[in-house]
Structure 1
């Protein structure tokens, strides 16, 4: 029986649901010896919350930085950069060597192959999200042995932009949709207002937050015509400064004023599990954002979208902004309430575009994505290592 490790080495909880359903399905089916490796209490708690009884009997192994040098580096640098995330690989090489395959939703684990020489392990990428950002299709992707993708759009861009050989890719659908989110209380009890989800991205060179965020919140606060959920990408406020490396940029992560937390028609959630488990994308009537892949989870049930371009982006025809074809794009937030009104009114004109991006982004069959992904992994390993 193959020994397979699903690694959850994340600073936050946003990537968990992209591989956890596959791990649970694989363990349930008994086709492999499955281990879940976790690197923080936060991540383990979210795994347990999302899994419920399905986790019974599944092995969970906590991984830590072990050397004194690593622990010093974590204390010194982790508030600014993901030091612990990278150092945990070096300090647990013997643990990783025991597995036939490592299944991950991010790319930092490739350091085990490129720096530490663990060539005997098959590296399998589930990705996280079905978004359009260029960083999701860089050449690093080609270093994986197998990549599971949600739809044709992702497969085609990996081949074209990242140079991934087609035989390394399997279309298996969107495993996150297999998660059953615990039932929530109404977000705005006894309210007949429509609800807007504002979901800005953390990258300073892409996000609308740093230029427009304060203006957006104040206008909704003063208007009171809509309910507003601020649920940004969970990494926006995870550290005092937001730093991105795909295009070096840095900005202070200034949190919203406390008065917004007390407004009955506003919900400020800066990083709870509800930000990543589709609670808000399922509950909202309109999506307001910029480049987060969560727009695709929102569009799984088509509704109005409105995008804020804070960088005068030449986006038309650019595959990195394909989702911007699914709703109006504003370069000015001075009348965000009026822009929301117009987005609701114009929804019918975006229906075809929304349907097209959904069909291209998500492969849907009668078989759940986690079942398809489990079969693809086991089939690949049977052929690759016998």
Structure 2
């Protein structure tokens, strides 16, 4: 059985969600693993995460032609042109596979638009968040879906996005990458509580477009807190962010240079630390809006605050379930009081966070990456009845 793992994105944040599975899958007899990447940085990141298993893997560099490269230079800050071009111009590499494992949905174009009807698709979502974009009809196109926990599974089943027999709950493979990691480094030369500000890029839901600079300005002018500004890595990948779902386009603002050299503020526009859980493990208070990183945060329950930039009717709305895990703030003037409550009542949302953690992530003695590898082999090679519940 020839299994491919595809990494075809502008940034590196999706890799940790599926790469650990590679190291487990190569242990299975009769399985050949190919890693397909569309940039040298992607390949380097995969090699780092899978270690010695890289010697048992074939790496394929997916290239595009000069015309597509030229078009991409003009479109890369507006649209994901390159991702589709990579699929279209490397069909022979994908046609050589039996199964393709991916953390995104664009790859389904290989079958639906480019005619590779014999290729089977496995989806391991890159995150376990609540945004509606994570629960779209396109997800019905996967042959096998491997999920982090019962929360996401139950919502997908209710929406008719899964069949009872084409999925498994396996846990969160990204956590396997930090299982034996040392404690996070000391990031500031003081003992102040540290706030992680993690805005999303969604043009409607993100707080960055309308509130972000005011947030950084407030932290710059005070001496009680440290601030890590580490947004979703895609925020600074493009100048324009468009949402078909919300019919909205917004221009991404820059971070003023005056904030970048302050000793109590870290500005990180997308380094490895923003995707390897360094900041979610090191900070004391989470400040965000729509990012699924909140669920990586509550693995160790701590105070959280959410900025409502869109005036959302969020109560009882599954798309905003994570806003039940902390205070919700609509005005910057209310932020200081919310931070005070986080310090004086740090356990106010602990019970809610612990319940959400249990529903979001299956935790067991068997690593998630091993459970995922076993499920892939069972489904496509041995083909017994798949166990779909923990």
Which interval holds the TM-score relative to the shorter structure? over 0.9
Between 1:98-107 and 1:44-53, the stretch displaced more is 44-53
Q: For residue 213 of structure 1, give the secondary structure of its aligned residue in structure 2.
A: helix
After the TM superposition, which segments of 4 or more aligned residues of structure 1 sit over 6 Å from their partners? none
| Whole-angstrom CA distance in 1 between matches of 2:8 and 2:354 | 34
| Whole-angstrom CA distance in 1 between matches of 2:293 and 2:160 | 22
| Whole-angstrom CA distance in 2 between matches of 1:316 and 1:104 | 33
Listed one character per residue, the Cα deviations across residues 110-160 of structure 1 (whole Å, up to 9, x for unaligned) are 000110121111100001101001111111111000000000011111111
Whether the aligned pair in 2 keeps the contact of 1:203 and 1:249 (CA below 8 Å) is no
Kindly state the Cα deviation for residue 162 of structure 1 after the two structures are TM-superposed. Answer: 4.4
Distance 1:192 1:111, change over 3 A: same
Kindly state the Cα deviation for residue 69 of structure 1 after the two structures are TM-superposed. Answer: 3.7
Whether the aligned pair in 1 keeps the contact of 2:26 and 2:53 (CA below 8 Å) is no
| Whole-angstrom CA distance in 2 between matches of 1:5 and 1:188 | 41
Kindly state the Cα deviation for residue 49 of structure 1 after the two structures are TM-superposed. Answer: 3.3
Q: For residue 156 of structure 2, give the secondary structure of its aligned residue in structure 1.
A: helix
**Structure 1 equivalent of residue 290 of structure 2:** 291
Q: Is 1:187 the equivalent of 2:192?
A: no
Kindly state the Cα deviation for residue 307 of structure 1 after the two structures are TM-superposed. Answer: 0.5
Listed one character per residue, the Cα deviations across residues 160-200 of structure 1 (whole Å, up to 9, x for unaligned) are 124321211100000000003577542113x1101110000
Between 1:214-223 and 1:342-351, the stretch displaced more is 342-351
Whether the aligned pair in 1 keeps the contact of 2:20 and 2:49 (CA below 8 Å) is no
**Structure 2 equivalent of residue 90 of structure 1:** 88
Q: For residue 5 of structure 2, give the secondary structure of its aligned residue in structure 1.
A: strand
Whether the aligned pair in 1 keeps the contact of 2:22 and 2:50 (CA below 8 Å) is no
Aligned length: 382
| Whole-angstrom CA distance in 1 between matches of 2:68 and 2:63 | 10
The partner residue of 1:124 within 115, 122, 125 is 122
Kindly state the Cα deviation for residue 256 of structure 1 after the two structures are TM-superposed. Answer: 1.1
| Whole-angstrom CA distance in 1 between matches of 2:112 and 2:364 | 36
Kindly state the Cα deviation for residue 38 of structure 1 after the two structures are TM-superposed. Answer: 0.3
The partner residue of 2:151 within 127, 150, 153 is 153
Kindly state the Cα deviation for residue 54 of structure 1 after the two structures are TM-superposed. Answer: 4.2
**Structure 1 equivalent of residue 388 of structure 2:** none
**Structure 2 equivalent of residue 115 of structure 1:** 113
| Whole-angstrom CA distance in 1 between matches of 2:206 and 2:279 | 19
Scaled by the length of structure 1, what TM-score is found? 0.95
Between 1:354-363 and 1:235-244, the stretch displaced more is 235-244
Kindly state the Cα deviation for residue 371 of structure 1 after the two structures are TM-superposed. Answer: 0.5
Listed one character per residue, the Cα deviations across residues 247-303 of structure 1 (whole Å, up to 9, x for unaligned) are 232211112111211110100000101111101000011110001000000100111
| Whole-angstrom CA distance in 2 between matches of 1:215 and 1:208 | 10
Distance 1:20 1:251, change over 3 A: same
Distance 1:275 1:162, change over 3 A: farther
Q: For residue 204 of structure 1, give the secondary structure of its aligned residue in structure 2.
A: coil
List runs of 5+ in structure 2 lacking aligned partners. Answer: 385-390
| 1:1-386 matched pairs, under 5 angstroms | 2-30=1-29, 32-66=31-65, 68-180=66-178, 185-189=185-189, 191-383=190-382
Distance 1:54 1:187, change over 3 A: farther
| Whole-angstrom CA distance in 2 between matches of 1:244 and 1:373 | 32
| Whole-angstrom CA distance in 2 between matches of 1:158 and 1:6 | 23
Whether the aligned pair in 2 keeps the contact of 1:129 and 1:294 (CA below 8 Å) is yes
Q: For residue 75 of structure 1, give the secondary structure of its aligned residue in structure 2.
A: helix
Scaled by the length of structure 2, what TM-score is found? 0.94
Whether the aligned pair in 1 keeps the contact of 2:307 and 2:329 (CA below 8 Å) is yes
Superposed CA RMSD: 1.7
**Structure 1 equivalent of residue 387 of structure 2:** none
Whether the aligned pair in 1 keeps the contact of 2:25 and 2:373 (CA below 8 Å) is yes
List runs of 5+ in structure 1 lacking aligned partners. Answer: none
Whether the aligned pair in 2 keeps the contact of 1:140 and 1:162 (CA below 8 Å) is no
Distance 1:30 1:278, change over 3 A: farther
Q: For residue 170 of structure 1, give the secondary structure of its aligned residue in structure 2.
A: strand
Whether the aligned pair in 2 keeps the contact of 1:327 and 1:347 (CA below 8 Å) is no
Distance 1:184 1:282, change over 3 A: closer
Listed one character per residue, the Cα deviations across residues 70-96 of structure 1 (whole Å, up to 9, x for unaligned) are 233223322311111111111011110
| Whole-angstrom CA distance in 2 between matches of 1:26 and 1:171 | 17
Distance 1:348 1:182, change over 3 A: closer
Whether the aligned pair in 1 keeps the contact of 2:302 and 2:347 (CA below 8 Å) is no
